[in-house]
Amino acid sequence: KRISQGLILGADGKKMSKSAGNGVDPRVMIDAYGADALRMWMSFIGEYSEKATWSEEGLKACHKLITRIWNMQEMISGEGETPELRFAVNQAVKKVTFDIDNAKFNTAVSAIMILVNEIYKVGKLTKDEYKKLLLITSPFAPHVANELYEVAELGTNFEEEKWPTVDESAL
């Protein structure tokens, strides 16, 4: 189906335009926060077909999320499943998969945020769980996900990995 993208408003609540002088230079934002943080924020900013207001604070939050995912490398222990994370990981995979298929990118990113918070509560995760997190994050932060996949030695080729499946019994 065809979906029209929504309008991004400037911080002043008016349509972004050069003449209004309320535009944001993406190169400046990329230099400050990275391309993946900007991509993630543009996905998270609001419902795809609705208008949304630009906020650098939102971009900072996405940068912080990516930093938290990066820092999880230190929390990896073993392989398989962490019993305390079984539900959260499968729920996130199911939600992100559904939301991407239905162009609900903002709630997909929200599901990733919820999973990251849950992982930090538990304080550890396995290589397999980290791989699933990176795979569901990759549509929004592909460069960081690919780099972390290599750094954490999760496999040989990130681009050939299959999308994670949901274990319905965990839900």
75: pLDDT confidence band, cut at 50, 70 and 90? very high
Quick count: other Cβ atoms within 10 Å of Cβ 108?
25
**pTM above 0.85?**
yes
Provide the percentage of residues in the chain whose pLDDT is more than 90. Answer: 75
Q: What is the DSSP letter of 123?
A: T
Per-residue pLDDT, 10: 85
Identify the burial level of 85 via C-beta atoms within 10 angstroms of its C-beta, where 0-12 means exposed, 13-18 middle and 19 or more buried: buried
Provide the percentage of residues in the chain whose pLDDT is more than 70. Answer: 99
- For the stretch 84-134, pLDDT in tens is 999 999 999 999 999 999 999 999 999 999 999 999 999 999 999 999 999
Tokens coding 58: 């939102």
Per-residue pLDDT, 168: 94
Distances (CA, A) of 32 to 26, 35, 69: 10, 9, 18
- For the stretch 41-72, pLDDT in tens is 999 998 888 888 888 999 999 999 999 999 99
- CA–CA distance, 148 with 66 (Å, rounded to integer): 11
Per-residue pLDDT, 1: 66
Asked whether 131 and 161 are in contact (CB, 8 A), the reply is: yes
